[in-house]
Amino acid sequence: MRQAGRYLPEYRALRAKAGDFLTLCKTPELACEITLQPLNRFRLDAAILFSDILTIPDAMGLGLHFTEGEGPHFKRRLESAADIKALCVPDPHEKLSYVMDAIRLIKQELAIPSEDKDVRSDKSTLGAPGRYSKAPLIGFSGSPWTLACYMIEGGKSQNFHRIKKWLYTEPAILHHLLNTLAQSVIAYLIAQIEAGVDTVMIFDSWGGILSPDIYQHFSLSYIKTIIEALPKHIPVIVYTKNGGVGLELMAQTGCRVIGIDWTITLQEARRRVPETMILQGNWDPAILLSHPTQIEQEVKKICPLSNHIANLGHGITPDIPVENVEAFVEAIHRYSPSI
């Protein structure tokens, strides 16, 4: 949940020197360095690939760019059935090779024993060189539905009326797009796995805007197809913002972990999915706006819980103080059962 990013001074420093967000994503050495920044600083249990959920549509030629404070935009959004039918599944080893290169670099760094490591970035008092040694690496992709939303809307949207018009008037064309995207995500995640990621997360950021039957047929069914095509030993995490209503459906995709936001309690989520399903989440990042004592209180409300991966329910924002993130991570270590 953006454990690397603008709230970190060392990230801001690198970005000021090296270029915009997308340049950082597309330069393997920088993506590697940024991926490891939060692990130098905090006692984190996993590294998360520094990248963006919209790399696939960018590789398809839509021209991804970012405007400060406005989020992602595409230079060329999808306007017609012809636009959709012209799209090809991108070969991840060509247009997305920068992602696989970054993964290989990160895995090399993570494999170096702690004592041999030099630590590049500014770090907190808790920082210790090479504490991230042997941490697993999480790769990711946007879900087909979420990618389609951005590709048809052209960026963020208030009511998603462009894609919903397709959905209600030309569902076959939309399914064609979603199928192309599912094949693209499969190839992309397999390439990430071959390059070394230990698990993958599928972000269905906009699945929660749909009614349950449409969510099932236009989003989760494609996620299921993707998971079925991935190597069985790789656990898959599926996250849907505002996904609380559809947990039972999410649990049927074949994923090993469901990521949830804070709008449903973990206790209720636990009751509604099979016992073996692992839940990830679900603190509101806004608790990190308060202070260490309050953060500790909020952590205690949830930890310990079985079959649970402690995490935020959504991304850290630039306004969050670094010392509060540290307090959060430390409180989780303090109140979680030892594993």
Number of other CB atoms surrounding residue 85 within 10 Å: 11
Structure tokens at 33: 């360095």
Catalytic residue among 6, 43, 77, 270: 6
Contact between 264 and a second copy per CB under 8 A? yes
The minimum distance between CB 150 and a second copy, in angstroms, equals 16
Please list the residues that pair with 139 across neighbouring strands.
Answer: 200
Q: How far is the CB of 157 from a second copy (least distance, A)?
A: 11
The answer to whether residue 2 is catalytic is yes
Report in angstroms the alpha-carbon separations of 101 from 10, 51, 72, 109, 133: 22, 12, 23, 13, 19
User: Is 150 in the active site?
Assistant: yes
Q: Looking at beta carbons only, is 92 or 244 nearer to a second copy?
A: 244
Question: Distance between CA 24 and CA 20 in Å, rounded?
Answer: 6
Distance from C-alpha of 255 to C-alpha of 319, rounded to nearest angstrom? 33
Type of residue numbered 277:
M
- Pick the binder of a second copy from 67, 125, 159, 338 (CB under 8 A): 159
Told to check if 291 binds a second copy by CB under 8 A, we report yes
Per-residue x/- track, 224-263, a second copy (CB under 8 A): ------------------x-xx----------------xx
Which residue in the set 93, 161, 271, 300 belongs to the binding site for a second copy (CB under 8 A)?
161
CA distance 241 to 50: 20
334 flagged as catalytic: no
- Look up 15 and say whether it is catalytic: yes
Shortest Å distance, C-beta 138 to a second copy: 23
Q: Which of 252, 141, 158, 142 is nearest to 205 (CA)?
A: 142
Q: C-beta of 213: minimal distance to a second copy in Å?
A: 8
Q: What is the strand order of the sheet 308-312 is part of?
A: 47-48, 137-142, 199-204, 236-240, 257-259, 278-283, 308-312
**Is 133 a residue that touches a second copy (CB under 8 A)?**
no
Q: Which of 97, 265, 307, 336 binds a second copy (CB under 8 A)?
A: 265
Residue 83: active-site member: no
Q: Which residue, 93 or 291, has its beta carbon nearer to a second copy?
A: 291
Q: Which is nearer to a second copy, 12 or 161 (CB)?
A: 161
CA distances from 244 to 148, 212, 240, 300, 312 (A): 22, 11, 8, 22, 15
Tokens of 313: 């329910």
Q: Is 20 in the site for a second copy (CB under 8 A)?
A: no
Q: In whole angstroms, how close is the CB of 295 to a second copy at the nearest point?
A: 9
Q: Would you give the end-to-end CA distance of the chain in angstroms?
A: 22
Active-site residue set:
2, 6, 15, 52, 150
Residues that bind a second copy (CB under 8 A): 159-161, 164-165, 167-169, 208-213, 242, 244-245, 262-265, 268, 284-287, 289-291, 294, 298, 317, 319
